[in-house]
């Protein structure tokens, strides 16, 4: 499938600089393919994920990042709408109504629900200074929890990394649920056999730093740095994770 081929070409790349310079051309190609077949949910999902990746990881300008991730979110909305017609009416629902609607989403829609939630989360991160955006976090979390309920091994456990990040956004005194964050990070690592290096980096960044556990922090990051980066479908993320691990480990002494 063309959508899978495009995504694989990016995610299996081991040079982030190549991706940073070449991904805009891929995005134009995706835009063109979507314009030719706007009702193809798989291509819309691929567009959502690629725009989320580029806008959140490779764009430094805040305004441009918000624009790129907004386009990804739009593709994500259209993907789930095409794959599951009831989702076309999700915008504007109350939280309780939204959760009730999610209960009827089935396993066949997992890929599209994942793209929908991931692209939404990326856009929220790009617009995190907007309190209206922050208020949407529970909706995204609910969508990701539904993905886990349907298939918690999806994306080789990658969905758990995002939930771990969401549960560790706030310290316990402000409503954070660090035990749940830890459980999601542990589950992601177990599912991937430790081959998804971003899980360990976010575990260190989001959980170990929050609870001031330097031993866990440094161990996780050292494991990331020493691990092979090449992994089908994860190589790019693993290389980026190793870059982050080097920076985080170097600042460990100052933080703790």
Distance of CA 159 to the CA centre of its chain: 7
**Predicted confidence band at 174 (pLDDT cuts at 50, 70, 90)?**
low
**pLDDT of 173 over the 80 cut:** no
CA 50 and chain centroid, separation:
11
Return the beta strands (E) in 3-104 as ranges: none
8/2 Cα distance (integer angstroms): 10
The predicted model scores a pTM of 0.92
Model pLDDT for residues 227-239, shown as the tens digit of each residue? 999 998 899 999 9
Residue 1 has pLDDT above 70, yes or no: no
Cα radius of gyration (the chain): 18
Q: Is the pLDDT of residue 20 over 70?
A: yes
Res. 2: pLDDT tops 90: no
Please report, in angstroms and rounded to a whole number, the separation of the first and last CA atoms in the chain.
Answer: 48
Token pair, residue 53, equals 């990746």
In total, the chain counts a number of residues equal to: 256
CB within 8 Å of 172: residues ≥ 6 apart? 178
Q: What is the pLDDT of residues 59-97, one digit of tens each?
A: 989 999 999 999 999 999 999 999 999 999 999 899 999
Q: What is the pLDDT of residue 35?
A: 94
Query: Does the structure show a pLDDT above 70 at 38?
Result: yes
Give the domains, in start order, of the chain with CATH numbers: 1-151 (1.25.40.920), 153-256 (1.25.40.920)
């Amino acid at each position: 499938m063309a959508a899978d081929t495009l995504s694989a070409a990016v995610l299996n790349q081991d040079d982030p600089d190549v991706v940073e310079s070449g991904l805009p051309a891929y995005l134009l190609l995706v835009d063109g393919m979507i314009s030719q077949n706007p009702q193809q949910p798989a291509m819309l999902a691929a567009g959502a994920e690629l725009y989320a990746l580029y806008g959140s990881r490779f764009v430094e300008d805040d305004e441009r990042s918000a624009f790129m991730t907004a386009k990804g979110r739009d593709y994500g909305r259209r993907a789930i709408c095409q794959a599951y017609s009831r989702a076309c009416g999700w915008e504007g629902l109350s939280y309780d109504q939204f959760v009730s609607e999610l209960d009827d989403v089935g396993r066949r829609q997992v890929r599209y629900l994942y793209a929908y939630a991931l692209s939404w989360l990326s856009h929220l991160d790009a617009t995190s200074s907007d309190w209206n955006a922050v208020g949407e976090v529970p909706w995204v979390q609910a969508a990701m929890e539904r993905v886990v309920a349907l298939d918690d091994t999806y994306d080789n456990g990658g969905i758990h990394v995002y939930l771990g990040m969401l549960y560790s956004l706030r310290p316990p005194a402000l409503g954070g649920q660090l035990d749940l964050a830890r459980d999601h990070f542990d589950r992601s690592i177990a599912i991937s056999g430790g081959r998804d290096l971003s899980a360990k980096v976010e575990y260190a960044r989001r959980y170990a730093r929050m609870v001031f556990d330097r031993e866990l922090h440094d161990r996780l990051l050292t494991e990331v740095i020493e691990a092979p980066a090449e992994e089908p479908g994860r190589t790019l993320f693993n290389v980026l994770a190793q870059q982050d691990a080097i920076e985080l480990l170097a600042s460990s002494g100052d933080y703790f």
